[in-house]
A and B are shown apart, each in its own frame.
Chain A
Amino acid sequence: MTQPLLQVNDLAVRYGDVQVVWKADLVVEEGAIVAMIGSNGAGKTTLLRAISGMLPPYGGEIIFAGEIVPASAPPEFVRRGLIHVPEGRRLFARLSVWDNLMLGAYLRDDKAAIRQDVERVFALFPRLRERRWQDATTLSGGEQQMCAIGRGLMAAPRLLIIDELSLGLAPRVVDELVDALRKVNAAGTSLLVVEQDVATALEFADHAYIVDRGRTVASGTAAVIAADPAVRTAYLGL
């Protein structure tokens, strides 16, 4: 059996004395699209921040591409291709779309490949090309999310983690983003997406995890999760 791209075992995360994630177990297979759903404050963002090295785990381990990644060293995670598009996009103000994209490629020095990847991002999101000299934080919400995803893609990710893909965006824009991400996935990048809109998430992903009060409480193929009566009442309002 081939090993998964990302494996999270028994992860626990604290902010000081406040424990937020108690026990998270998660697997992302190479090439998969995995959705993570859960109510507000369940600990999804915290879990992702630990997975990308922004927070030191209090317990458990993160295995990426077969290797345990040393705790809390974001550049190590980026170098290995584990890239996190944060909640709220967090584009760099006062810098152009172009500069933001180039910062995504900060640890790379393969100039030719970087240029190719910019072209790829512009092909995926043509509006970014038109606006490439504009201050990134003056873009519309949808364009900002495109820029944030594009910035993530510039790191040549093996796994792209996206926190709150559709928050605050019009359905049409969300469709556009989902289409683009399908292309990204088809080109070989695995995806781990936190998504408020559970219906969209379960349609987009092939696998889903449910996070509740700091624990991964259920997982399965998206179809199975979508059919789960508990999920249907709690998250789909059916």
Chain B
Amino acid sequence: MLWLQVLVNGLALGGLYACIAAGFSLVWGVLNIINILHGSLIVLGGYLAFFAHLQLGISPFLFAPIAGMLLFLPGFAIQRVIISPVMARPVLMTLVLTFGLTLFLDNLMLVAFTADYRKINLQPPLGVLEFGDVVLPLDRLYATGIGLVSVGALWLVLRSTQLGRAIVAVRMDRDAASLMGINVRLTHAIAFGLGTAMAGVAGALLAAIFPISSLSSSGYLGKAFVICVLGGLGSVPGVVLGGFALGVIESYGALAVGPENALTMSFLLLIALLALRPTGLLGRKGFT
């Protein structure tokens, strides 16, 4: 039954992984920005959850939506003030800019929180569900469930609200969008803010089950990247598919080549996939 346990381990992370990648994919798909800052924002969300738990006793699962709200405004402001002026430039420009921002934020967190790994100790621990030989830790189930619900909420916003339509419209045809009276720059800032909000949610959920450190941002960024490519850029169903795929692949990878090599394996898979199917499994232009 080992293979079944490994499968469950993988699936138990799928929803959380989808949540990690959703904001990254949104920003990439809609603004055509590869937001290197995304991993650091996840870490920041994690720290916020850690201190909310330590100081105020708020459960990270409850705190996740609050972390999202807290990170919306900084994202909005970063887009409006820093990224917007170079939006018209080649994609490399925004890549370098967000890379600079991530160095800044990582070092700021290093100074503020040190590089020590910190772990939220849920009191009392949530325990596990047992199905025969197969064990499912409840904290992972919660994290994945809330992650999926958050991704679903994002999907609903994009699919059935005026804001969501405007975000897609701006992506598809900026000029035509302004003919509708849509404020393109404002819509970009909101989309970026939604992306950072999703990073905040993901960070809080991650902090509930894994230790966090100011040095772990690139690992999360890497995961987001792999998930986007696995599932295909620019769709919510894509990040969900990619999230569960990465969870399962990592889980079996950890079994086959050891946990320390699992991420390497994911990246090898990424390279193979990029060579075979550059748009990903469900990839298309825009974001839905």
Taking a contact as CB atoms under 8 Å apart, the answer to whether A106 and B286 are in contact is no
Chain A residues in 8 Å Cβ range of B178: 54, 74-75
Total chain A interface residues with beta-carbon distance under 8 A? 23
Chain A residues in 8 Å Cβ range of B162: 102-103, 106
Q: Which residues of A contact B (CB under 8 A)?
A: 52, 54, 74-75, 78-79, 83-84, 86, 90-95, 99, 102-104, 106-107, 151, 155
Inter-chain contact count A-B, CB under 8 Å?
A: 68
Q: How far is the CA of A139 from the CA of B178 in the complex (A)?
A: 23
Q: How far is the CA of A104 from the CA of B166 in the complex (A)?
A: 10
Q: Which residues of B contact A (CB under 8 A)?
A: 162, 165-166, 168-169, 172-173, 175-183, 284-286, 288
Taking a contact as CB atoms under 8 Å apart, the answer to whether A78 and B168 are in contact is no
Chain A residues in 8 Å Cβ range of B169: 92, 95, 103
Interface centre among A79, A93, A107, A151 (most CB of B within 10 A): A93
Q: How far is the CA of A84 from the CA of B162 in the complex (A)?
A: 20
Chain B: interface secondary structure?
helix
Taking a contact as CB atoms under 8 Å apart, the answer to whether A94 and B179 are in contact is no
Return the contact of A75 from the options B175, B183, B285 (Cβ within 8 A): B183
Taking a contact as CB atoms under 8 Å apart, the answer to whether B181 and A102 are in contact is no
Chain A residues in 8 Å Cβ range of B166: 103, 106
Query: 8 nearest interchain CB pairs?
Result: A78-B181, A90-B176, A107-B181, A74-B178, A75-B181, A106-B180, A92-B172, A92-B169
Taking a contact as CB atoms under 8 Å apart, the answer to whether A90 and B179 are in contact is yes
Besides A52-B179, A78-B181, 20 new A-B residue pairs in contact (Cβ under 8 A), listed by A number: A54-B175, A54-B179, A75-B181, A75-B182, A75-B183, A78-B179, A78-B180, A90-B175, A92-B168, A92-B172, A92-B176, A93-B172, A94-B284, A95-B172, A99-B165, A103-B166, A104-B180, A106-B182, A155-B180, A155-B181
A–B complex contacts, Cβ < 8 Å, 24 sampled: A54-B175, A74-B178, A75-B178, A75-B181, A78-B179, A78-B181, A86-B176, A86-B179, A90-B173, A90-B175, A90-B176, A90-B179, A92-B176, A92-B177, A93-B173, A94-B284, A102-B162, A103-B166, A103-B180, A106-B162, A106-B165, A106-B166, A151-B180, A155-B180
